[in-house]
């Protein structure tokens, strides 16, 4: 459940990120993927983000696994990603992450929305969204 009474919305579970992204993107029909560590299944992840280059890398604080998401590898070399802290509680560096895909009529992804939830204070947010202007997008979508 999302709590909308504060300046920044908070959620008590990672599922709330989907509702947050629905409103943030103004799109009822996003297609969602949960992002978890492929090695240990942990879903409280550190995020390295460059908002200018639209790249994001996750790192699992439990087992150390890193993963550059989706098509961000292509832009990673030119990027200056920074480790993100929650802007509200100012201490926590771990987030639940979901990706929302907006699709074209042919099924390819047109736009990617990243959404996150601070595991400490529950604040919901989005560091990134970016356009995809190629197809097919099947491989890109599965690279999470
Ligand atoms: Zn892990
Ligand atoms: Zn927080």
Burial of 34 (0-12, 13-18, 19+ CB in 10 A): middle
**In the numeric block, which tokens belong to residue 123?**
């604040």
Whole-number Å distance, alpha carbon 44 to ligand 1 midpoint, is: 9
Whole-number Å distance, alpha carbon 93 to ligand 2 midpoint, is: 8
Q: How many domains does the chain have?
A: 1
Range of the domain at 120: 2-142
Ligand found nearest the CA of 61: 1
Ligand found nearest the CA of 60: 1
Question: Please, are residues 95 and 43 in contact by the beta-carbon 8 Å criterion?
Answer: no
Contact residues for 75 (Cβ-Cβ < 8 A; gap 6+): 53, 54, 55
Whole-number Å distance, alpha carbon 12 to ligand 2 midpoint, is: 12
Band of the pLDDT at 121, cuts 50, 70, 90?
A: very high
Per-residue model confidence as pLDDT tens digits over 5-32: 999 999 999 999 999 999 999 999 999 9
Per-residue model confidence as pLDDT tens digits over 36-88: 999 999 999 999 999 999 999 999 999 999 999 999 999 999 999 999 999 99
């Amino acid at each position: 459940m999302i709590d909308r009474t504060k300046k920044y919305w908070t959620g008590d579970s990672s599922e709330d990120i989907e509702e947050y992204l629905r409103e943030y993107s103004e799109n009822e029909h996003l297609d969602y993927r949960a992002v978890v560590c492929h090695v240990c299944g942990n879903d409280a992840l550190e995020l390295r983000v460059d908002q200018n280059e639209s790249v994001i890398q996750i790192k699992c604080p439990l087992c150390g696994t890193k993963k550059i998401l989706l098509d961000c590898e292509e832009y990673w070399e030119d990027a200056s990603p920074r480790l993100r802290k929650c802007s509200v509680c100012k201490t926590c560096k771990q987030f639940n992450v979901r990706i929302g895909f907006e699709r074209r009529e042919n099924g390819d992804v047109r736009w990617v929305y990243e959404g996150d939830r601070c595991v400490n204070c529950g604040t919901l947010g989005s560091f990134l969204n970016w356009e995809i202007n190629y197809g097919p997008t099947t491989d890109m979508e599965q690279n999470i």
